[in-house]
């Protein structure tokens, strides 16, 4: 039954495809958008289109970037044989902010979570394994210390152990469930420096 007319229904349908947006939120957003000044709606849609066009995944580490390779992967003075696995691009940014890590990253874009239906195939693990087939000295697992982060760390360690690559996990000084993004730089540096061999 089409209560709203096809244009509004189409907008509600598109919005409800976004993560975390149920049908009620989609309706609320749709009516909010309809009531915005034309100019603001144009700016919103243009920003979405531009971001989608320009932002892409780094072809090496999978972080979000504007180019084929992100600035870290492009940098020849980084240690490309040391790879730190993080859950998302925000975690990468948190480590870059402390400015003491000289290796490169691998961004998973999520963590394994059976309760939310996120399995190993839903995060960038295949890309990680491809990279590990090359010349790698150390893999640092820096997923969050949440249940999902720990499950992901365990899964990766089982996958990587047989390769003989040195495998470490950041120290557990990072508070449980703590989003790396919100942890202060000293704690983050301590977690990195105190990483333990798996």
Residues binding Zn ion (CB under 5 A): 58, 60-61, 70, 73
Cβ distance to Zn ion smaller for residue 26 or 104: 104
Assigned token pair, 43: 């700016």
Q: Kindly state the smallest distance separating residue 104's Cβ from Zn ion, in Å.
A: 7
Cβ distance to Zn ion smaller for residue 73 or 180: 73
Q: Kindly state the smallest distance separating residue 73's Cβ from Zn ion, in Å.
A: 3
Cβ distance to Zn ion smaller for residue 64 or 159: 64
Cβ distance to Zn ion smaller for residue 106 or 169: 106
CA atoms within 13 A on the CB side of 87: 21
Q: Kindly state the smallest distance separating residue 96's Cβ from Zn ion, in Å.
A: 11
Q: Kindly state the smallest distance separating residue 180's Cβ from Zn ion, in Å.
A: 18
Cβ distance to Zn ion smaller for residue 11 or 58: 58
Q: Kindly state the smallest distance separating residue 100's Cβ from Zn ion, in Å.
A: 19
Q: Kindly state the smallest distance separating residue 26's Cβ from Zn ion, in Å.
A: 34
The C-alpha atoms of residue 118 and residue 116 are separated, in whole angstroms, by 6
Cβ distance to Zn ion smaller for residue 107 or 180: 107
Is the Cβ–Cβ distance between 107 and 89 less than 8 Å? Answer: yes
Quick one: residue 177, left, alpha or beta (phi over 0 = left, psi -120 to 50 = alpha)?
left
């Amino acid at each position: 039954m089409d209560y709203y007319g096809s244009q509004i229904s189409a907008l509600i349908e598109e919005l409800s495809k976004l993560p975390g947006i149920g049908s009620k939120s989609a309706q609320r957003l749709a009516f909010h958008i309809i009531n915005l000044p034309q100019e603001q709606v144009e700016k919103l849609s243009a920003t979405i289109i531009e971001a989608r066009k320009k932002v892409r995944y780094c072809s090496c580490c999978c972080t979000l970037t504007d180019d084929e390779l992100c600035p870290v992967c492009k940098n020849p003075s980084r240690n490309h044989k040391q790879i730190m696995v993080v859950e998302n691009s925000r975690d990468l940014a948190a480590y870059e902010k402390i400015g003491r890590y000289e290796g490169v990253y691998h961004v998973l874009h999520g963590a394994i979570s059976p309760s939310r239906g996120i399995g190993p195939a839903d995060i960038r693990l295949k890309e990680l394994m491809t990279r590990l087939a090359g010349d790698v000295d150390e893999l640092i697992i820096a997923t969050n210390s949440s249940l999902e982060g720990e499950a992901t760390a365990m899964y990766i360690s089982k996958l990587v152990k047989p390769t003989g690559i040195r495998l470490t996990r950041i120290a557990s000084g990072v508070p449980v469930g703590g989003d790396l993004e919100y942890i202060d730089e000293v704690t983050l540096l301590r977690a990195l420096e105190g990483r333990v061999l798996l």
